[in-house]
Structure 1
Amino acid sequence: MVPAASHPHLWAQQVTTQATPLAEDQQSSSSLPDAPGARQYPVAEVLPNNDDSTDVTLESDGDQSKTGSVFSLDKNVVIHYRDRVIQADHVEFNEDSGELTATGHLHVSGGANHEDLTASHGTMNLKNQTATFYDVTGSVGLKGAGAGRTLTYSSSNPFLFTGRMVVRTGPQSYEIYDGTLTTCQLPNPDWMLNAGKFTVDSEKAKAQNSIFRLMNIPVLFLPYVTHPVDSEQRQTGFMIPVPGYSSTKGFTLGEEFYWAINRSTDLTVGAQYYSLRGWEQSATFRYRGLGNNFAKARYTGLLDRGIVTNGVYLNQGGQDVTFSGRHDFSSQTRVAGDVEYLSSYAYREAFAENFSVAVSSDILSILYGVHEWDGYAASARADRYQGLKQAAVAATPTTPAVPEEQIRIFHAPSLDFNSTEHEIGRTGLLWSVDASEAGLSRVQPDFSTGGLTQRFDLHPELSYPLGFDGWRMRASIGVRETAYSRSRQVPYNDTGIPVELPNPLNRSDLEIEGDLRAPVVERVFDSPGVEKFFGGNDVKHTIEPELTYRYVTGVNNFLSVLRFDDVDIVSDTNELEYGVTQRLFLRPVKNRPCKERPESTAQSQNWEDDIGKVQTRQIADAKDSLPSCGSHPLISWRLAQKYFFNENFGGAVINGRRNIFDTTLNFSGIAFLTEPRAISPLISRLRVRTSAHMDVEWDFDLDTGAKKFTSNNVLVDVHENNVFAGLSYARLNAPGRFYTEGVISAVSNFNQLRLLLGYGSPTKPGLGIAGNVGLDLNANNTGLVQYGAVQGSYNWDCCGFSVEVRKYELGSVRNETTERFNFTLLNIGTAGNLRRTASLF
């Protein structure tokens, strides 16, 4: 199977072993006639006279004469007819018949496909738009192809050609005899096709019994080959077969068939044979409609013969089906979906070509329709969550096989109503509401809900924003009413496996929140010392403090609620969140694109310090703290923490287990509650953009109670000219997941490092080399390296070659080394099994 991503151009070169023989009177010969009128080749087909009355404009620098209806012109002759321009040293033109004979430096340009050709001599009929040219060099879809001009592609599939004779059989139809075809600049193209005859029309160029040459070396014989001329057209045909090798799959060979159903729809089907594993099948359907309308479906599947690893037989076959699409009925009404079905995680781990996909254990499928009007939205959705919580373990001679454990959660369906905030008259009070009616189901090892659990949720809210002298405050009050058709047994049993009760459950709460934002404090440093240190830039420092109090009460039955989504983890809380965001902006001293804001918009105070003149300003409005006059952010750093006055969250906290509530999930995303506590971890989000070529991000959660970093992530991205590098470090040391079979992992311990380094570009000529590696710093038996790849490429002017060696280390599931390559022809396509999405460049 050769995935479609290996052929990113939809209009790639199509190859087939079936050739349609030419008629005898169309066969090419080794010699060509040297004079117009010779009969060895068919004359141009004469189209019916359409009584064309288009004016012909004749110009020349030399002698001009007319005998009857025949014009004779010499020296730099230029003829304009329709959208074409004809130039030659000598021209004879019959205005009655439209016949034209041109000799000496003949140049013809124009036409719908931007044809441009030069020839030694030729004949033309302007009315019928037919012609015969000799000793031709030309191009289609290439603007400005004349000497001394800059070449500009007018389509995504231009091509250049040569021929001893070229016959134009119509306005956009040619026959090229004893010629060559390429997309490279002449006269020394990197690659070209040689054939006795090429036939070109408005859609494609085609040839039989052609030879593909690379660096003028014969490489491949092609019985039949086509090249698209019109970039809007795609062609049905077989793709170029792709070989490959993998240490676990063996030698591979794949082929695909591409079907251009119509201008909006196409289908690609293919198969790939693995000598050690069996057959893999694939299919891709694509549709692109008006506006945002689209549909895309992808299927892959493997009939696996199995593999023996450490004396254990493993069958890793499976299927993976994805669909995504959208249809807009109007600007306010649409349906959309993103659906995936995966039959086996072992199949994904063993055969996914992207490491991130191979180790991903969560799948979310959703279908929804929504209608929006005047700040309201009504929607219907159905979704399915599929998550792997413990991988399958193969059987050994002494132990039975353990199946993989999955959790599946369904909304089938959910009807939702939401609104933005609306003002009540002119009171300044704002109201909003969220409501939903859902049918829910959950399936996991040793537990399954009995059919659909009905849930109705209503959440109205009133808020009142205030602002004075730069201060901002927003107070809100809301209630929440949630009704369930089933509940969960309390207290929980020792195994932790849920026990469903048929008893309905009603949950009510009162929510009060106040948000306070102080004026943004701003300081501008514009001394010569600061400007010198920061490369000729002023520096602006802003401080944005924030304070949020939240009180929720009434949820006295949290442990009785079955868990399906974030609606079910609402709990009592009495908390205060405090934080501050600091920013540094750089502003060029010279060439400022705008004027300073007038002083009347703010109160200011000036003083001197050891750095120089420093201006402090309290902004009257938060928007005034945004960068101005060419400023760009250098540093953004946010620190925040929560204090919980209600340490056990209304009795919802269970000692010794990981507890997740909506208030903790929305704050950090990293679990930290295993017992009642008053202070959350301190979260830090630091982003530094030193220049347009370097970005740094450092995010951590510091648990001051446990005295450790529960999460610590560092990202670095550098790119300067052709050099690029990246680093990502991820550390997780948080409370562990509770497994349904009663096994509790005290800590989720994750410590990984990713490195990338390279030189080169996939689109520029020259050498490129890159490598990346993923390291598991907690590795014990699995090994330090999880994956790694080295890729090299070399690009000529209009073709390129890339090769890659990639290594996967995923324990007993996958220990594989693969070798991939691709060969790209400019504006033609790519042959090979190294996909663009897997490229390191």
Structure 2
Amino acid sequence: MVRFYPILVLCFAVDWLGVPAPARAQDFSGCNLYQAQSLKASMGKEIVNGKLADHAILDGTPDVPVRIDCDEMQFFADHMEHYPELGRITARGNIVFVSGRNRITAERMEFDTKNRTGTFYVAFGTAELRDKPNPSLFGSQEPDAYFWGEELHKIGPKKYRLKNGGFTTCVQPTPRWVLVSGSITLNLDDYAILKNAIFSVKGVPLMYLPIMYYPIQEEDRATGFLMPIYGNSTYRGRTISNQFFWALSRSQDATFVHDWFSNTGMGYGGEYRYIRSATGNGNARAYVINEHQATFENNGQTIDSPARKSYSLRGNMSEQLPGHTRVSGYLDYFSDVTVQQLYNQNIYDASQRSRRWGGSAAANLSGFSLSGTYSYDEYFYGATSSSINEQRPSISFSRSTTRLGKTPLYVNGSVNYSNALRGTRSGTTVSDLTLQRWDSGGGVRLPFSKLTFLTVNSNMGWRGTWYNKSNDPVTGAVVPIGILRQYFDFRSEIVGPVFARVWDRPGSGYAARIKHVIEPSIEFRRTTTVENVKQVIKLDRRDYTIGGSLEMQYGLVNRVLVKGSGPDATAREILSTTIQQTHYGNPELSQFDGSYSTSFYGRPPSNFSPVSLTTRFTPVSSASVDVRMEYDPEISAFQSISLGGSVNTTLLQASGNFSQRKLPTGADLFRSDNFITGAASYRLPSQRLGGAYSFNYDIGRSTWIQQRVTAYYNAQCCGIAFEYQRYNYPSFSRFIIPKDQRFNISFTLAGVGTFSNFLGALTGQPTTQR
């Protein structure tokens, strides 16, 4: 094990620089020789390389060393010989070389002051790469790099070549980790290249690397390899994830990744990110999984998994262009939905069943807006069955609500053209329907807010839509006959009378003032009859307008606000509760009301909507509770329940959610979907210790969808992070194993970045990319 006693010598060297001693200085070709009055010195000439050269010999002691200054370089030693004409210095015994922020100690030295190169024997050095301390998650503020070697050759201003030496950025008397190599090229403030390197932690060799590139740049982001992630999985087998980070500039970078799976094959890909300005940024990621044929055991049966190759693409961008124009795009595409579910450790990515891409451009000028959108969405119901929704393109032109002269009226209008495709895919068979639609409309609004406790808003609008295809009124088949649908819409919303009461609580530590507000509301909606409603092809919610009836939506809002004491105190809402229901003159309207989450799921026609209750409780800024319920009085049951809460402090972040949905599907009136999810993470203020736990549980089927535990511990210059996840797959034939147990582990080192791979391993721990 390497022991770093020379660090103590460097500490003594600092003391030498700060302790004055009686000395005299002599100038020799730009170098000053300092010699204490009590020490010996001799001057003469000596033949060196066939030439007669001036020769100064100086002798000191460990307590009072000899010193030579050459420009910004300083040399200290027990014995030194200086050849001014040749620009050569030789020394032995307790040598200390100082150049800027770098220091080297050695037993023997030969140095060329003209070329600023030299050789140090049995040498040790430190290099400070930052102008100020760099407190990190390891709590280290020491010089950033320490190196040593049997021979240390200085071949440039900041470039060294080490023979049979080592390197570490953990500068302590006993470093937690070291890299030892027979040949090291060290370029300070840039990189270190090691050949045939052995990586050791606490003296235990862990890894052999034929060649290694180690970044030691002053900036926090530097090009280099990141620490690998090791793991094991029931499906993938033993795994190793490696990444190379390329810092292209301060505003853009690229990452290349390779994952090895002992059971199934490998994955590889890359990611590019950029930030052009405060209004322009983007990223793109591509990942390929190349699986070979594999065999698995399941309930005593041998199952073969065929070889296959799949890929996923992700990206998004947003740019602000001249002329008040913004363009944006997104991409979230995969070639095989089953592979996504088998490999992804992130529950959101694993359960995602839609792939999509699109882009848009929008320009705004003087209240007018012009936008264009192209989008593709495909939702999977199985491995090869899906529905397709495509806009190619959709173009809109609109005028925002504008006051009409000096009148109390406000007007708005819009025109939209869309060329839409709706289709289904089953295996390789695709059936689709294309439809062109022109939609235009406008409205007039008359607000009334003269009274502080009462507000009235009345609207009148017209909408006309032309479709190039329609449904046959008799057979219901799609025919190439265009139709025009139009109707008038009248709305009037009344909010109030509003009741409020205030309580003063002087001296209260929580709230010096409490305010309670009760706000009733009612809205009347009347839509004229749509004569050809059955001929309209339904693309989205705007096509479900039926008309010919009066709707009335009524509700009540309760709010509680608190205000602290002090001149800078502001009011904060701690409780908000809204309850509402809608009455329909036409019962069919209850099946297509977007105000209620259960309306589009086969609800029987009714004159009344479910009763909706929404509550948000925020007793403190770091904690909140949200409740949403929909109760159907027709069947006397809650159709939808969602209860969630969160706590967010500097040390603890936790959230949980319970959801239940009961919908009529065929003979089963109550098909219950009950889920509970939760996540919590905790970390010490120093970030040395932390962990996280998350789960998803299906109450209706009494099944754990997944459980995941992540923890990390960082001590001084190194640390460890690990995670365990148990993931239960759906009981479908395309999943050849019922569950996957995954374990990942990675080490963290000061100065070397860590990461979460593209499959979501080790998310939740502090990660850095250097």
TM normalised by structure 1 equals: 0.71
Match of 1:162 in 2: 147
What is the CA distance between 1:750 and its match in structure 2? Answer: 0.9
Q: Secondary structure at the match of 1:286?
A: strand
Residue type matched to 1:754 in 2?
Answer: T
Residue type matched to 1:386 in 2?
Answer: E
What is the CA distance between 1:458 and its match in structure 2? Answer: 0.8
What is the CA distance between 1:643 and its match in structure 2? Answer: 2.7
- The 1:756–1:96 alpha-carbon spacing in structure 2 relative to 1, beyond 3 Å, is same
Distance 1:512 1:831 in 2: 56
Q: What does the per-residue CA deviation read over 1:53-75, in whole Å, with 9 as the maximum and x for residues that have no partner?
A: xxxxx999555655456545689
Residue type matched to 1:509 in 2?
Answer: Y
CA contact (8 A) 1:320 1:340 kept: no
Distance 2:147 2:409 in 1: 77
Distance 2:488 2:405 in 1: 25
Distance 2:142 2:740 in 1: 38
User: Map of 1:238-257 to 2, 5 A cutoff?
Assistant: 243-252=230-239
Match of 1:439 in 2: 419
What is the CA distance between 1:482 and its match in structure 2? Answer: 0.7
For structure 1, list consecutive stretches of 5 or more residues without a partner in the other structure.
1-31, 33-57, 393-403, 493-497, 595-628, 654-658, 737-742
- Picking from 286, 299, 321, the partner of 1:330 is 321
Distance 1:794 1:557 in 2: 68
Match of 2:578 in 1: 639
- The 1:685–1:184 alpha-carbon spacing in structure 2 relative to 1, beyond 3 Å, is farther
Q: Secondary structure at the match of 2:587?
A: coil
What is the CA distance between 1:745 and its match in structure 2? Answer: 6.6
- Picking from 541, 551, 561, the partner of 1:575 is 551
- The 1:448–1:151 alpha-carbon spacing in structure 2 relative to 1, beyond 3 Å, is closer
576-585 vs 257-266, greater mean Cα deviation: 257-266
CA contact (8 A) 1:322 1:341 kept: yes
What is the CA distance between 1:221 and its match in structure 2? Answer: 2.8
Distance 1:241 1:214 in 2: 15
What is the CA distance between 1:273 and its match in structure 2? Answer: 3.4
Distance 1:713 1:97 in 2: 85
What is the CA distance between 1:639 and its match in structure 2? Answer: 1.2
CA contact (8 A) 1:306 1:315 kept: yes
Match of 2:179 in 1: 193
Q: Secondary structure at the match of 1:411?
A: strand
- Picking from 503, 508, 528, the partner of 1:525 is 503
Distance 1:272 1:334 in 2: 41
What is the CA distance between 1:408 and its match in structure 2? Answer: 0.9
- Picking from 257, 260, 263, the partner of 1:272 is 260
CA contact (8 A) 2:489 2:528 kept: yes
CA contact (8 A) 1:105 1:120 kept: yes
What is the CA distance between 1:350 and its match in structure 2? Answer: 2.5
Match of 1:789 in 2: 708
Residue type matched to 2:534 in 1?
Answer: L
Match of 1:140 in 2: 128
User: Map of 1:307-346 to 2, 5 A cutoff?
Assistant: 319-326=310-317, 328=319, 330-331=321-322, 332-346=324-338
- For the pair 1:665 / 2:594, whether they are aligned, the reply is yes
Q: What does the per-residue CA deviation read over 1:530-550, in whole Å, with 9 as the maximum and x for residues that have no partner?
A: x65x64654333444444333
Match of 2:754 in 1: 830
Residue type matched to 2:310 in 1?
Answer: Q
Q: Secondary structure at the match of 1:829?
A: coil
Distance 1:745 1:207 in 2: 68
- Picking from 347, 353, 356, the partner of 2:345 is 353
Match of 1:764 in 2: 687
What is the CA distance between 1:761 and its match in structure 2? Answer: 5.5
- For the pair 1:405 / 2:390, whether they are aligned, the reply is no
User: Map of 1:408-487 to 2, 5 A cutoff?
Assistant: 408-444=388-424, 452-470=434-452, 471-487=454-470
What is the CA distance between 1:385 and its match in structure 2? Answer: 1.8
CA contact (8 A) 1:244 1:833 kept: no
CA contact (8 A) 1:715 1:729 kept: yes
CA contact (8 A) 1:158 1:229 kept: no
Distance 2:159 2:576 in 1: 64
Residue type matched to 1:423 in 2?
Answer: R
- For the pair 1:300 / 2:300, whether they are aligned, the reply is no
CA contact (8 A) 1:60 1:77 kept: no
CA contact (8 A) 1:718 1:726 kept: yes
What is the CA distance between 1:214 and its match in structure 2? Answer: 0.6
- The 1:831–1:483 alpha-carbon spacing in structure 2 relative to 1, beyond 3 Å, is closer
Distance 2:390 2:25 in 1: 87
Match of 2:374 in 1: 382
- The 1:746–1:387 alpha-carbon spacing in structure 2 relative to 1, beyond 3 Å, is farther
Q: What does the per-residue CA deviation read over 1:449-473, in whole Å, with 9 as the maximum and x for residues that have no partner?
A: 7652111111222223333132443
Match of 2:52 in 1: none
CA contact (8 A) 1:324 1:338 kept: yes
- Picking from 480, 486, 507, the partner of 1:502 is 480
Distance 1:385 1:746 in 2: 31
Q: Secondary structure at the match of 2:178?
A: strand
Distance 1:245 1:152 in 2: 27
- The 1:569–1:105 alpha-carbon spacing in structure 2 relative to 1, beyond 3 Å, is farther
- For the pair 1:226 / 2:213, whether they are aligned, the reply is yes
- For the pair 1:184 / 2:170, whether they are aligned, the reply is yes
CA contact (8 A) 2:551 2:585 kept: yes
- The 1:637–1:270 alpha-carbon spacing in structure 2 relative to 1, beyond 3 Å, is same
Distance 1:174 1:461 in 2: 76
Residue type matched to 2:492 in 1?
Answer: G
- For the pair 1:775 / 2:701, whether they are aligned, the reply is no
Q: Percent identity?
A: 20
Distance 2:69 2:500 in 1: 67
Q: Secondary structure at the match of 1:665?
A: coil
Q: Secondary structure at the match of 2:543?
A: helix
Match of 2:561 in 1: 585
Match of 1:752 in 2: 675
* RCO higher in structure (CA 8 A, sep ≥6): 1
Distance 2:375 2:328 in 1: 12
- The 1:487–1:86 alpha-carbon spacing in structure 2 relative to 1, beyond 3 Å, is farther
Match of 2:541 in 1: 566
Match of 1:799 in 2: 718
Match of 2:14 in 1: none
CA contact (8 A) 1:722 1:759 kept: yes
What is the CA distance between 1:360 and its match in structure 2? Answer: 2.6
- The 1:753–1:232 alpha-carbon spacing in structure 2 relative to 1, beyond 3 Å, is closer
CA contact (8 A) 1:107 1:118 kept: yes
CA contact (8 A) 1:477 1:512 kept: yes
What is the CA distance between 1:684 and its match in structure 2? Answer: 2.2
Q: How many residues align?
A: 697
CA RMSD of aligned residues (A): 4.6
User: Map of 1:595-744 to 2, 5 A cutoff?
Assistant: 629-633=569-573, 635-648=574-587, 659-660=591-592, 664-668=593-597, 671=600, 674-718=603-647, 722=651, 725-736=654-665
What is the CA distance between 1:556 and its match in structure 2? Answer: 3.2
CA contact (8 A) 1:129 1:170 kept: yes
Distance 2:160 2:521 in 1: 72
Q: Secondary structure at the match of 1:412?
A: strand
- The 1:474–1:302 alpha-carbon spacing in structure 2 relative to 1, beyond 3 Å, is farther
CA contact (8 A) 1:441 1:449 kept: no
Q: Secondary structure at the match of 1:828?
A: coil
- The 1:823–1:67 alpha-carbon spacing in structure 2 relative to 1, beyond 3 Å, is closer
Distance 2:368 2:185 in 1: 59
Q: What does the per-residue CA deviation read over 1:349-394, in whole Å, with 9 as the maximum and x for residues that have no partner?
A: 22322223222323332222223323333222221221234x36xx
What is the CA distance between 1:262 and its match in structure 2? Answer: 7.8
Distance 2:311 2:578 in 1: 42
Q: Secondary structure at the match of 1:830?
A: coil
Match of 2:200 in 1: 213
Distance 1:565 1:759 in 2: 44
What is the CA distance between 1:774 and its match in structure 2? Answer: 2.1
Residue type matched to 2:145 in 1?
Answer: L
- Picking from 706, 714, 728, the partner of 1:809 is 728
What is the CA distance between 1:427 and its match in structure 2? Answer: 2.9
What is the CA distance between 1:817 and its match in structure 2? Answer: 1.8
